[in-house]
Structure 1
Amino acid sequence: MKIKTVYQCTSCGYQSPKWAGKCPDCGEWNTLAETAQVRGSTKAAKAAPKQPVSRLSEVETGSDQRLLTGIAEFDRVMGGGIVRDSVTIITSPPGGGKSTLSLMAASALAKQGFRVLYASGEESDSQIKNRADRILDTIAENIWIVADTSMDNVLDAIREIDPDLIILDSIQTFSLAEFLPSRAGNPTQTMECASALVAQAKNKSRPRAVLMIGQMNKSDEIAGLRALEHLVDAVLVLEGEGADELRCLVATKNRFGSTGEMGFFTMTEAGLASIENPSAYFVTKRERGDSVSGSAIAVLKEGSRPVIAEIESLVSPSFTPYPSRISETMKKDTMNTLISILEQRGGIKLYDKNVVIKTTGGLYLKEQAANLAVLMSIASSVYDKPIPSDWAFLADVGLTGELKRVPSMESRIKELDRMGFKQVFIPAGGMRELHLENIRVVEAKFLSQLLNHVFGKKGNG
């Protein structure tokens, strides 16, 4: 066996015989890391076992190919449970809850009789046990733990225990002896360890589900080569960190479900709890007549489902030459654009006012469907006039002050109807008739018309 030292880019995988400050391939700086390239290895030279050829029409699929954890939001994001022969990677910022969620999934499946192997290269077995005692009501007998950084030992444990689910925490902490002296976390070690798990999962005679935890780098991406994301079947990102109670699980890739699907959790002392009715969670519950100024309701599309969200605004006099524009729930450029529209088309002057925007529950506003509700919440704060709590606003607003349609109007309105809202304002024209029980649909063409209708104020266009 011959060992040759090369320098591999941790961003794109480019290999160079000598170190350089800038990767010649992708142009990133300080990404070339020293690694050992093994040649002539007997193990590496072994041919892969031949897989039988099958007709596509004869391949069996079905609901029995999935493992349901019973964690509602997790199963939703996975597309209806974990596929038996799949490889999934979960990543989040430090303290985001990825190890907690993985352990909860392990416990849920173990209680159903499935065998689970939990391998950790970051924590000792006592640390894992302490977490389990804190978040699990009971610990199932058929969960096995391997606290080791050797992937060879993990593979031996897989052969010994024959698990249905393998959890690896985290993939960047493991190494194969075949590729030493390359250290754990090196792109070569990470990819080879991941490939070994893929081979375990895709074994047709004994399929297994694999859940890998991936560390996140300072760019909020999975640490290591981008090829790792191409190798696995699903990539889940758990958003939220530290003291934040809200956690959002997003599928940025899913071969067996909807990419972009989102699940919501709250972080509690007993682990992650599913938010099974987000439309109730992201709205302040008020009785009719208890409306407050500065609040407006929007309907967002989070994954495949509509979610009702409350937007709150606070407008106050500014005593400095440069008024504050503050929001952690939307892009600052978007906020400034909307304020300009409200000034020019709505006739509301904000040049000497501070404007603060937030959402109930900390939900981030990524969609243009929330724009009208943002403007109405600001106007409500300026006029100090409440909007009825059972009214909602569903439209984008153009630079001309015109209200514009947004995707999935029908499903959003039906969600408002389901939650008992009484009135929703939408753009004029193009709306087909819906069979609604509670809600009245009101159409408007311009922002100024809506401001006049709701607040009795006339705008500029």
Structure 2
Amino acid sequence: MAKNKTAFVCNDCGSDYAKWQGQCSDCGAWNTLSEIRLGPAARSGAGRAANDRRSGFAGALAEARVLADIDLEELPRFSSGAEEFDRVLGGGLVPGSAILVGGNPGAGKSTLLLQTMCHLAGGMEALYITGEESLQQVAMRARRLGLPTDKLRLMSETSVEAILAAAEKYRPRVLVVDSIQVVHSEDITSAPGSVSQVRECAAYLTRFAKQSGTVLFLVGHVTKDGSLAGPKVLEHMIDCSILLEGSHDSRFRTLRGQKNRFGAVNELGVFAMTEQGMREVKNPSAIFLDRSAEPASGSAVMVVWEGTRPLLVEIQALVDDSQLGNPRRVAVGLEQNRLAMLLAVLHRHGGLQVGDQDVFANVVGGVKVLETSADLALLLAIVSSYRDRQLPRDMVIFGEVGLSGEIRPVPSGQERLSEAAKHGFRRAIVPRANAPRSAVKGMEVIAVTRLEEALAAID
């Protein structure tokens, strides 16, 4: 009898080794290598010739084609039933696509997918696989949310072989597997959730989706730092990776695209968690601009660009005397290292010394700002708090600040100004390169090239 071959795989990064060792050489983690059993090698020669008609990963094998001869018609899409969900997906669901949905426990992943599946089941075959909850728990949630339950097929299963058999039987157009971390294959000896189980089960399910044209939703866990759990190869296999974020003390949830082969990345959709489930927010700027009635220093409104649309967000700063030898620098919703860098620019080119002050910065509404267009608004909010002088409530600010004190342009400046004008803002401080060629109706635009000019504009 042939000896079974084994390998040792890192549970953090997925690197494999011929023998066990205490530390993974690739990611540096300790005691993360686990033993897995490898399957028999594929036959060669005549044995391989008998399998020449086997299917490939993305469908049946075909002859190579010239790039110019490939049909460029747009991939057929269909709506998920929620405009915000469709926006993040790039315009709708693409047949044969694999979508990975991640988020913290309690964020609303299962609720959002259950609503979507109940809506889609009214017009097509849909199958929901639950591995973490019982059928009664899912049915109770659907009844509590008032969802139609007479069309959706529900199945409680964790074996990938049984899931694929059910998918072959019912041939759904949309398939949800909740979650990929509890699914296991009988051919692999390691425990569910391990690197080898997650990788192989995801490969089986993705192969079925590509060959049958089924839209596949995989629910994934997240690690303590908020990133998707499992091997990195999981994110490479799927077509779209989206993350549902939101704090437990807020009813609003943000759905952000991190990878999308069929649309723009970093799209943002906003939902509100209500008693009737997840409800989409059509005008996110309105909720993020819910400002206090009394004007206060340290508050500024900026326009950030999320995917394909502008978003107005309030940013707050607090500058206070420090009682510590090392003053604190705290940023919520912003990059903390960038805050320290901007404070150095403010000292060097703005003449404002806050080295002995505690500086706190916060983006209202729990939004995470990933672009540099918030630099100028953050600095002006810090100056406003330090001087205890309010900024005009009808002023909007955006622009990137360079290390030499220059105000650099940001993409889509005209669209940002138009969005601010629609919400009643009458003044704007923007980079000179973003100054509109034609005047924006009802808005005074102050174009600046240096940080000193921006500070003079608010004096």
Does TM-score exceed 0.5, indicating one fold?
yes
The 1:154/1:391 distance shift into structure 2, 3 A limit, reads same
Task: Kindly state the Cα deviation for residue 53 of structure 1 after the two structures are TM-superposed.
Answer: 5.0
Match of 1:265 in 2: 271
User: 2:330 pairs with 323, 326, 330, which one?
Assistant: 326
Contact 1:416/1:439 (<8 A) preserved: no
* Deviations 1:152-207 (CA, angstroms, capped at 9, x unpaired): 22122212322111100111211222x1433322333323322222232222xx42
Match of 2:189 in 1: 181
Task: Kindly state the Cα deviation for residue 229 of structure 1 after the two structures are TM-superposed.
Answer: 1.6
* Deviations 1:288-316 (CA, angstroms, capped at 9, x unpaired): xx533221111111122211111112233
The 1:348/1:199 distance shift into structure 2, 3 A limit, reads closer
User: 2:261 pairs with 255, 263, 280, which one?
Assistant: 255
* Deviations 1:314-362 (CA, angstroms, capped at 9, x unpaired): 2333444444333212222222222333334333343443332212212
The 1:454/1:180 distance shift into structure 2, 3 A limit, reads closer
User: 2:134 pairs with 120, 124, 127, which one?
Assistant: 124
- The letter for the 2-side match of 1:276 is K
Q: Distance in 2 between matches of 1:99 and 1:305?
A: 27
Match status 1:397 vs 2:401: yes
User: 1:238 pairs with 244, 248, 258, which one?
Assistant: 244
Task: Kindly state the Cα deviation for residue 13 of structure 1 after the two structures are TM-superposed.
Answer: 3.5
Q: Distance in 2 between matches of 1:201 and 1:81?
A: 17
Contact 1:93/1:241 (<8 A) preserved: no
The 1:164/1:346 distance shift into structure 2, 3 A limit, reads same
- Matched position secondary structure for 1:38: coil
User: 1:229 pairs with 228, 235, 248, which one?
Assistant: 235
Match status 1:145 vs 2:154: yes
Match of 1:35 in 2: 36
User: 1:420 pairs with 424, 448, 455, which one?
Assistant: 424
Contact 1:94/1:241 (<8 A) preserved: no
Q: Distance in 2 between matches of 1:441 and 1:448?
A: 17
Match of 1:191 in 2: 199
Deviates more, 1:117-126 or 1:412-421: 412-421
Match of 2:174 in 1: 165
Contact 2:435/2:447 (<8 A) preserved: no
Q: Distance in 1 between matches of 2:385 and 2:24?
A: 52
Match status 1:105 vs 2:155: no
Q: Distance in 1 between matches of 2:102 and 2:271?
A: 15
- Matched position secondary structure for 1:66: coil
What TM-score results when the alignment is normalised by the length of structure 1? 0.87
The 1:352/1:54 distance shift into structure 2, 3 A limit, reads closer
Q: Distance in 2 between matches of 1:346 and 1:307?
A: 28
Size of the aligned set, in residue pairs, is: 446
- Matched position secondary structure for 2:316: strand
Match status 1:115 vs 2:125: yes
What is the aligned-residue RMSD (CA, Å)?
A: 2.8
- The letter for the 2-side match of 1:184 is P
Match of 1:16 in 2: 17
Contact 1:77/1:251 (<8 A) preserved: yes
Q: Distance in 1 between matches of 2:350 and 2:103?
A: 41
- The letter for the 2-side match of 1:256 is F
* Mapping 1:253-402, distance limit 5 Å: 253-285=259-291, 291-402=295-406
Contact 2:408/2:433 (<8 A) preserved: no
Match of 2:78 in 1: 67
Q: Distance in 2 between matches of 1:40 and 1:402?
A: 61
Q: Distance in 2 between matches of 1:147 and 1:80?
A: 30
Match of 1:156 in 2: 165
Q: Distance in 1 between matches of 2:321 and 2:434?
A: 40
Task: Kindly state the Cα deviation for residue 51 of structure 1 after the two structures are TM-superposed.
Answer: 4.1
Task: Kindly state the Cα deviation for residue 137 of structure 1 after the two structures are TM-superposed.
Answer: 1.9
Q: Distance in 2 between matches of 1:430 and 1:94?
A: 41
The 1:126/1:361 distance shift into structure 2, 3 A limit, reads same
The 1:229/1:319 distance shift into structure 2, 3 A limit, reads closer
Contact 1:235/1:253 (<8 A) preserved: yes
Q: Distance in 2 between matches of 1:58 and 1:321?
A: 66
* Deviations 1:249-288 (CA, angstroms, capped at 9, x unpaired): 222211111122222223334332222212222113577x
Deviates more, 1:341-350 or 1:271-280: 341-350
Match of 1:458 in 2: none
* Structure 2 unaligned spans of 5+: none
* Structure 1 unaligned spans of 5+: 456-461
Contact 1:286/1:389 (<8 A) preserved: no
The 1:413/1:109 distance shift into structure 2, 3 A limit, reads same
The 1:28/1:317 distance shift into structure 2, 3 A limit, reads closer
Q: Distance in 2 between matches of 1:365 and 1:107?
A: 33
The 1:409/1:27 distance shift into structure 2, 3 A limit, reads same
Contact 2:401/2:408 (<8 A) preserved: yes
Task: Kindly state the Cα deviation for residue 429 of structure 1 after the two structures are TM-superposed.
Answer: 5.0
**Percentage identity across aligned positions?**
34
Task: Kindly state the Cα deviation for residue 32 of structure 1 after the two structures are TM-superposed.
Answer: 1.3
- The letter for the 2-side match of 1:94 is P
Deviates more, 1:211-220 or 1:252-261: 211-220
Q: Distance in 2 between matches of 1:163 and 1:67?
A: 14
Q: Distance in 2 between matches of 1:148 and 1:367?
A: 42
* Deviations 1:219-272 (CA, angstroms, capped at 9, x unpaired): 543333222222111111223343343422222211111122222223334332
* Deviations 1:356-382 (CA, angstroms, capped at 9, x unpaired): 221221222322211111121122223
- Matched position secondary structure for 2:39: strand
Q: Distance in 2 between matches of 1:164 and 1:6?
A: 37
Task: Kindly state the Cα deviation for residue 54 of structure 1 after the two structures are TM-superposed.
Answer: 8.6
The 1:161/1:263 distance shift into structure 2, 3 A limit, reads same
Q: Distance in 2 between matches of 1:147 and 1:41?
A: 33
